[in-house]
C-alpha cells in the first residue's frame, strides 16, 4: 500500500488538513472529505466535470495527485458561491437556464471564472477555447455562452447587480 | 483508483536528479496519470517535479527564447512575448487540449511522451529547438531534431530530466506557423499537424523548415521538401513541388481518426497552404517598409 500522509491546503480560503495515500487523485480526496461539488466524470481529463482551481488556475482534479497541492490554494465551485457575495456567473446561469442536469456546471463555472479574470469581455471564440475541456451533454452550450457573457458584463460594471 | 505507487516529493533540482534513477518524472500528469489508470504504464515510483525552483520561468533575451522544463502550455499562451518568439507554438497552444489540460500539460512532458501526434513538437522543430538534459552527473544539450529514434523512443536516458527548451527567436523576415487538423478545434487528437518556417529576403526564400506531425512513427522534418524551396522564389510551382515532396515523405497509418490516404493528402494541402501564407505575409511586410 502507498503510505498515507496529511497535507495542509487552503480550500476555498479555509486552511484544512486532508489525509491521502500517495496514489490518490485530488478528485477522490476532495470527494472523500465531503467536497461533493467536485464531480467525477471520465477520470481521464476529457470532460472537465472535476475542474478546480489551484492557485487560481483551472486544472482537472482527476489528473492531479492530492499530495501535490500541499501548501497551495484550491478553489471549488463553493468558493465562488460565497453567500454574501456570490459570483455573477451563478445568477447569470440561473437566469439563462444554462443548467439542466447540472453535472457539468461546477467545472464549467471554474473554467469560466478564470476566463473572465483574464478576458473580461470574451468573444464566442474566447469562450469556446476556454471551455474546450468541458463537456455538457444537455444544454448545447448556447445558454452557457450567453450566461458567461452576461456575467462578464456584470463584472465589468463593477460587481453584482442585485 | 490508480494502481499503487510511491511518490517522491523532492524539494529542488539536485534532490530531483538524485531521485531519478529508478523514478519516473511526474510533471502535469496528463499523459502519465491517464496511462497509469489505463494500466498502460507500470511505474512504481513517481518523482513530482512541481517543487523545482523557477522551473516554469520563460526568458526571451538576446535573440534566444528559453523556457523551463516545467513550463506549461497555458504559460505559453499567457506570456506576451511568445507571440513573436514562437508564433507556431502559440498557434499550437490555442488548440491544445482544453483549458485545464493546458494549465497542467508541460512542453517537456509533451516532447518526452514522444507521441507522433504530440502537438508542440512540429512547432518546436520548425524553430530549431534544443533540449537541455540534466542528470546527477552531467548536463548536455541535444537538438530536438536528433532526439527521437523511433515510435515513442528517444535519446533521453532514464536518469535525465529535461530542464529546459530553447530556440532562436525568428527575425522580422521570418514567418512561422502551425496548423492542427483534427475532428474539432480543442481537446482532440491531431490527424495531421504541420509547422513551417520561411525566411524571405526580397524574392528569395533563404531558409525554410517543414515539420510534420501524426504522419510517421515520430514527428519529423521534411528536409528534402525544405531543400526544394531554399534559395528559390516561392512561386506556385515551387510550393506545389515542396508540398508534393512532403506528402511523399509521410508514412502515416490508418486509424479511427483518419485513413493513411487522407492524411497524406492533407499533408500536401496544409504544407502548400502554410507555405503560401508564410511567404505572402512576408511579402506584405516587404512592400510595407
Ligand atoms: C484530455 C486530454 C487532452 C490532450 N490534448 C492534447 C493535445 O491537444 N495535444 C497534445 O499534443 N497532447 C495532448 N494531450 C496529451 C498530454 O496532455 C500532453 O502530451 C502533455 O504535454 C504531457 O505533459 P505532462 O506535463 O502532463 O506530462 P506527464 O504526463 O507528467 O509526463 C509525460 C511523460 O514525460 C515524462 N516527463 C515529463 N516531464 C519530464 C521532464 N521534465 N523531463 C523528462 N521527462 C519528463 C514523464 O516521465 C512521462 O513519461 C492531452 C491529454 C489529455 C488527457
Ligand atoms: S473527471 Fe476529470 S476531466 Fe473528466
Ligand atoms: S447541464 Fe447536463 S451536462 Fe451540462
Domains and CATH numbers, chain B: 6-48 (3.30.43), 58-168 (3.30.465.10), 174-287 (3.30.390.50)
Q: In this structure, are A84 and A149 located in the same domain?
A: yes
Q: How far apart are CA B77 and CA B105, in angstroms?
A: 12
Nearest-CA distance from A41 to chain B in Å? 13
Residues of chain B positioned with their CB less than 8 A from the CB of A141 = none
Task: Looking at the CA of A48, name the nearest ligand.
Answer: 2
Q: Identify whether A123 is part of a domain.
A: yes
Judgement on whether residues A63 and A84 belong to the same structural domain of the protein: no
Which of A46, A76, A106 corresponds to the end of one domain?
A: A76
Report how far residue B254's alpha carbon sits from residue B234's, in angstroms, rounded to the nearest whole number.
32
Residues A29 and A9 placed together within one structural domain of the fold? yes
Residue B143 Cα to ligand 1 midpoint, Å, equals 20
Domain contains A107: yes
- The residue behind cell 468541458 is A134
On chain B, the residues whose CB falls within 8 A of the CB of A48 are 98, 100
CA A100, A103, A108, A113 dihedral sign is: positive
> Does residue A91 share a domain with residue A40?
no
Q: Are B203 and B193 in contact (CB under 8 A)?
A: no
Q: Are residues A60 and A90 in the same domain?
A: no
Same structural domain for residues A86 and A150? Answer: yes
pLDDT at residue A32, as a whole number: 97
d(CA B282, CA B67): 27
For ligand 3, whether the C-beta of A134 sits within 6 Å is: no
DSSP H stretches of helix in chain B? 13-19, 32-37, 73-78, 82-85, 87-94, 99-104, 107-113, 121-126, 223-229, 236-249, 260-288
Q: Cα–Cα distance between B184 and B173 in angstroms, integer?
A: 32
Whether A162 is covered by a domain: the verdict is no
**pLDDT tens by residue, B197-212:** 999 999 999 999 999 9
Q: How many C-beta atoms lie closer than 10 Å to residue B166's C-beta? A: 17
- Counted domains in chain A: 2
Query: Which among B9, B99, B184 has the least Cβ separation from residue A58?
Result: B99
Together in a domain, A19 and A57: yes
> What does B94-163 look like in DSSP terms, one character per residue?
HTSS-HHHHHH-BHHHHHHH--TT-TTHHHHHHTT-EEEEE-SS-EEEEEGGGTEEETTEES--TT-EEE
Same domain, residue pair A89 and A152: yes
Which of A42, A64, A66, when mutated, tests ligand 2's pocket best, judged by the most ligand atoms within 8 Å of its CB? A42
Quote ipTM for the complex: 0.95
Chain B residues with CB under 8 Å of A132 CB are 97-99, 184-187
CATH of the domain at A33: 3.10.20.30
- Residue ranges of chain B with pLDDT lower than 70? 284-289
* CATH number of the domain enclosing A150: 1.10.150.120
Q: Verify that A89 and A139 share a domain, yes or no.
A: yes
User: Does residue A19 form part of some domain?
Assistant: yes
A85/A108 same-domain check: yes
Residue whose cell numbers read 517522491: B8
Residues B126-175 have pLDDT tens digits of 999 999 999 999 999 999 999 999 999 999 999 999 999 999 999 999 99
Q: Is residue A93 part of a domain?
A: yes
- What Å distances lie between residue A119 and A149, A156, A159, B278, CA to CA? 11, 11, 15, 29
List pocket residues of ligand 2, CB cut-off 6 Å: A 40-43, 45-50, 60, 62
Domain boundary pick from A76, A97, A119: A76
Cell of B20: 531519478
Decide which of A21, A45, A76 is a domain's last residue: A76
Structural domain includes residue A161:
no
- pLDDT tens track for B181-190: 988 777 788 8
Question: How confident is the prediction for chain B on average, in pLDDT?
Answer: 94
Choose from B40, B98, B186 for mutation: most chain A CBs within 10 A.
Answer: B98
**Could you list the residue range(s) of the whole structural domain that residue A9 is in?**
4-76
Helices of type H across A33-103 = 77-80, 88-96
Report mean pLDDT in 10-residue bins for chain A, 162 residues: 87 96 97 97 97 98 98 96 88 96 97 96 95 95 97 87 48
Phi, psi of A134 (to 5 degrees): -120, 120
Cell of B9: 516529493
Residues B159, B204: Cα–Cα separation, whole Å: 45
The answer as to whether A36 is a domain residue is yes
Query: Is A90 in the same domain as A124?
Result: yes
Confirm whether A127 is domain-assigned: yes
A36 and A85 fall within a common domain: no
Amino acid at each position: 500500500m502507498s503510505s498515507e500522509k496529511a497535507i495542509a491546503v487552503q480550500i476555498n480560503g479555509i486552511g484544512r488538513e486532508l489525509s491521502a495515500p500517495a496514489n490518490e487523485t485530488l478528485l477522490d480526496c476532495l470527494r472523500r472529505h465531503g467536497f461533493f461539488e467536485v464531480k467525477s466524470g471520465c477520470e481521464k481529463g476529457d470532460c472537465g466535470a472535476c475542474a478546480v482551481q489551484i492557485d487560481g488556475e483551472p486544472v482537472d482534479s482527476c489528473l492531479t495527485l492530492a499530495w501535490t497541492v500541499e501548501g497551495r490554494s484550491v478553489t471549488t465551485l463553493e468558493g465562488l458561491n460565497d453567500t454574501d457575495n456570490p459570483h455573477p456567473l451563478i445568477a447569470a446561469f440561473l437566469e439563462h437556464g444554462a443548467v439542466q442536469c447540472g453535472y457539468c456546471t461546477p467545472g464549467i463555472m471554474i473554467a469560466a471564472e478564470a476566463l473572465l479574470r483574464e478576458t473580461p469581455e470574451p468573444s464566442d471564440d474566447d469562450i469556446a477555447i476556454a471551455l474546450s475541456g468541458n463537456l455538457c451533454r444537455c444544454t448545447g452550450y448556447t445558454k452557457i455562452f450567453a450566461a458567461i457573457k452576461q456575467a462578464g458584463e456584470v463584472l465589468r460594471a463593477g460587481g453584482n447587480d442585485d | 483508483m490508480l494502481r499503487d505507487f510511491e511518490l517522491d516529493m523532492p524539494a529542488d533540482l539536485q534532490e530531483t536528479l538524485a531521485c531519478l534513477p529508478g523514478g519516473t518524472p511526474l510533471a502535469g500528469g496528463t499523459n502519465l496519470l491517464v496511462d497509469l489508470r489505463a494500466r498502460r504504464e507500470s511505474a512504481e515510483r513517481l518523482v513530482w517535479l512541481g517543487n523545482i525552483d523557477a522551473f516554469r520561468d520563460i526568458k526571451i533575451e538576446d535573440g534566444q527564447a528559453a523556457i523551463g522544463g516545467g513550463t506549461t502550455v497555458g504559460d505559453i499562451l499567457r506570456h506576451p512575448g511568445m507571440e513573436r518568439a514562437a508564433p507556431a507554438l502559440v498557434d499550437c497552444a490555442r488548440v491544445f487540449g482544453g483549458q485545464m489540460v493546458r494549465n497542467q500539460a508541460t512542453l517537456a512532458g509533451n516532447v518526452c511522451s514522444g507521441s507522433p501526434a504530440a502537438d508542440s513538437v512540429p512547432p518546436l522543430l520548425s524553430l530549431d529547438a534544443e533540449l537541455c538534459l540534466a542528470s546527477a552527473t552531467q548536463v548536455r544539450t541535444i537538438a530536438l531534431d536528433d532526439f527521437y529514434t523511433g515510435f515513442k523512443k528517444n535519446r533521453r536516458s532514464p536518469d535525465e530530466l529535461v530542464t529546459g527548451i530553447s530556440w532562436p527567436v525568428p527575425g522580422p523576415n521570418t514567418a512561422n506557423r502551425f496548423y492542427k487538423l483534427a475532428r474539432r478545434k480543442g481537446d482532440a487528437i491531431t490527424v495531421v499537424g504541420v509547422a513551417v518556417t520561411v525566411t524571405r529576403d526580397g524574392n528569395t526564400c533563404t531558409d525554410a523548415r517543414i515539420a510534420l506531425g501524426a504522419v510517421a512513427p515520430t514527428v519529423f522534418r521534411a528536409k528534402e521538401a525544405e531543400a526544394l524551396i531554399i534559395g528559390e522564389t516561392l512561386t506556385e510551382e515551387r510550393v506545389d513541388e515542396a508540398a508534393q515532396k512532403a506528402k511523399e515523405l509521410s508514412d502515416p497509418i490508418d486509424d479511427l481518426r483518419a485513413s493513411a490516404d487522407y492524411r497524406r493528402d492533407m499533408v500536401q494541402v496544409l504544407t502548400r497552404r502554410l507555405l503560401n501564407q508564410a511567404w505572402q505575409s512576408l511579402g506584405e511586410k516587404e512592400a510595407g517598409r
